[in-house]
Amino acid sequence: MSETYPIYYNGAPAGTLQAEREGLFTVFTARMEDPGSLVRLSVFGAGGRESCLGVMAPENGALALRKRLSRRDMAGFPEPILYAAPAGTAQPRPAPAAEEEPPEEPPAEPPAEPGPDSRERGTELIWYQAGDGSLFTARNGHSYRAIPMAAWGLPMEHALEERVIDGVRYAVFALKDGQII
């Protein structure tokens, strides 16, 4: 068994992840362009389900990762794996199989609007699970991250608003290049 998956960085293809069976183990080998920052790579499946593989290391001008996992280590992995991306980003797949539109790319500038306002009738936002308990959405060319208020040490001075999503209180932050601004 040998399978190859795309690695996405900021919504664009940036490398490949290969999974091969070696006896009782599955060996993941990843290689991608070096974006100049630390990349903790995760695999993603249907519904945004995520499992972390590890931190990629510099190798010959690129980033690489080799991870050997047992069946027990892979018990919580998404089935099937659809793609890989930095942990917690829940990158949308650029070519969706269904007729739905993918979320928009992250903004080049901070949002000019006060936040992802969806109080108007017919403008309800769809929030995607990021795999770490937070949520991700995009609206009008801007990306947002919602972090549960129960988390300690949130920089509330950077929060755009507080919002209740599915009965949980979140602090909503604007994103630029996948980072909270």
Q: What is the mean pLDDT of residues 102-114?
A: 49
In degrees, to the nearest 5, what angle opens at C-alpha 100 toward C-alphas 99 and 105? 130
Q: Give the single-character DSSP code of 119.
A: -
pTM above 0.75, yes or no: no
CA 139 – CA 106 distance, rounded (Å):
10
pLDDT digits (tens, 9 = 90+) for 69-98: 998 888 888 888 888 888 887 655 444 444
Residues near 133 by Cβ (< 8 Å), separated by ≥ 6? Answer: 147, 148, 151
Euclidean distance between CA atoms 21 and 24, whole angstroms = 7
List own/partner pairs for 154-157 with CB under 8 A and 24 or more apart: 155/180
**Mean pLDDT score of the chain:** 77
pLDDT digits (tens, 9 = 90+) for 132-176: 777 878 887 788 888 887 766 667 778 888 888 877 888 888 888
pLDDT at position 112 is 44
Residue predicted with more confidence, 151 or 122: 151
Q: Would you say 46 and 20 are in contact if contact means Cβ atoms under 8 Å apart?
A: no
